[in-house]
Structure 1
Amino acid sequence: MLSKILLLTATALTSVSALGNAVVSNQCPYDIYLWSVDQQTNPLSGTLIPARTLYTEPFRTPCPGCGISLKISTTSSLVGGHMTQFEYAIDTGLIYYDISFVDCAVGQSADNCPGHEKGLRIDSAEPSCLPLNCPSGTYCVNDAYYVDDPNVKLGIPAPVKTCARDMLGMDLVFRVCGDEAPL
């Protein structure tokens, strides 16, 4: 019995250590704040990410199919209508990711969305992970959520990307002010 428990524990640790990271690259000339939220965690305060620095956290799966939202604000408190969200979920060996302006867009404008004035992107060094790119000042509905259900409300597919199956050990880079020079 103990050997089965040790084998299960070793397998679980191997699975966890095989996960990559969510990296937020603040390429902006100003500080931002991040709240890493899931169905079980909702921090009271944000993490400061100074201008031109990186923040890294390991991918996590708080429950099967549950998603993580990295909420980005330019202030130390989350204000409705003024946050950009980078989102990801891991399910059945795949990582799904997107950019969401649902809480900050007004119609086709993302002017209230932190970082959009200098572009937002998600990319990875892993070539199977397709990039999402929303250049500054654009209505990038194919690369970011402007409404909660674009299939129903806009007649287009959801702007969600994924990497090849079992590519969970790589890093995804969420770039705020993505039109600026990389770090």
Structure 2
Amino acid sequence: MLSKFVLGVVALQAGLAAAGNAIVSNRCPYDIWLWSVDQSHWSAPIHIPARTQYSEPFRSSCNGCGTSMKISKSNQLVGGAHTQFEYSIVNNQIWYDISFVDCAKGESASACPGHDKGLTMDSPEQACGKASCTGGSYCPTQAYYVDYPMQKLGLQEPVFTCPGKGTGMDLYMKVCSDEAPLKRSIAGRLAITDG
């Protein structure tokens, strides 16, 4: 009986450890659409109006398998016109990046949604790295422009992590990150909702 109780507590703790969220904040003055995709899941388009956010729990179909949050300026996912926020869970550790691979042309990412006003991936956890590309800039150390940056550009892969933090924290994916943070009113006070 005790072993069943211990196993139940361990299972509960494991479930709590994976309680983090992938949060997409649309700071843009325009609406965006998101498709959440992994090896076993492809969502319908999710509408994220200007100056709002969308959240979903972290998920992974296998150890090391990735999830891509594909961002478009329309309710159609058109090749060459979407930005990707990507994360994977490897041995209970979050790894993440921004990808312009499907929309960049050389050093220009102007066809990538949000690039005109910046893109960022970060967490309130201090141990986490921050992927950040300011609006209109060429930022190959912060985001993928090509599929193999080491071979094609001579640069390290722009992948970030939160050493030792597991999957219990939130990861913010900010579209138009150069714009003002999202705010909401709580008991008559303004609070920042996207870091």
**TM tier, shorter chain?**
over 0.9
1:104: which partner in 2?
A: 103
1:127: which partner in 2?
A: 126
Which amino acid in the other structure matches residue 29 of structure 2?
P
Q: Deviations over 1:16-73 (max 9, x none)?
A: 2222111100000111001110001122x21001110010111112111101000000
- TM-score (normalizing by structure 1): 0.93
1:84: which partner in 2?
A: 83
Summarize the alignment of residues 40-79 of structure 1 with structure 2, pairs less than 5 Å apart.
40-43=40-43, 45-79=44-78
Shift of 1:93: 2.6
1:35: which partner in 2?
A: 35
Secondary structure of 1:12's aligned partner: helix
2:153: which partner in 1?
A: 154
Aligned mates of 1:4, 1:34 — CA distance in 2: 43
Aligned mates of 2:46, 2:72 — CA distance in 1: 10
Shift of 1:101: 0.2
- TM-score (normalizing by structure 2): 0.88
1:137: which partner in 2?
A: 136
Shift of 1:166: 3.6
Q: Which runs of 5+ in 1 are unaligned?
A: none
Shift of 1:6: 6.1
Q: Deviations over 1:130-178 (max 9, x none)?
A: 1111001100000000000101111110000000124321111000000
Secondary structure of 1:99's aligned partner: strand
Which amino acid in the other structure matches residue 41 of structure 1?
H
Stretches (4+) displaced over 3 A: 2-10
Q: Which runs of 5+ in 2 are unaligned?
A: 183-195
Shift of 1:126: 0.4
Secondary structure of 1:87's aligned partner: strand
Aligned mates of 2:113, 2:2 — CA distance in 1: 51
Q: 1:26 to 1:37 in 2, by over 3 A?
A: same
Aligned mates of 1:8, 1:66 — CA distance in 2: 26
Secondary structure of 2:23's aligned partner: strand
Secondary structure of 1:114's aligned partner: coil
Which amino acid in the other structure matches residue 95 of structure 1?
I
1:21: which partner in 2?
A: 21
Contact kept, 8 Å, 2:35 with 2:70, in 1: the verdict is yes
Contact kept, 8 Å, 2:127 with 2:165, in 1: the verdict is no
Which amino acid in the other structure matches residue 15 of structure 2?
V
Aligned mates of 1:113, 1:56 — CA distance in 2: 21
Count of residue correspondences = 181
Q: Once superposed, what is the RMSD of the aligned Cα atoms?
A: 1.5
Q: 1:143 to 1:5 in 2, by over 3 A?
A: same
Q: Deviations over 1:66-113 (max 9, x none)?
A: 010000001101000000000000111311000000000001000000
Shift of 1:4: 5.3
Give % identity: 56
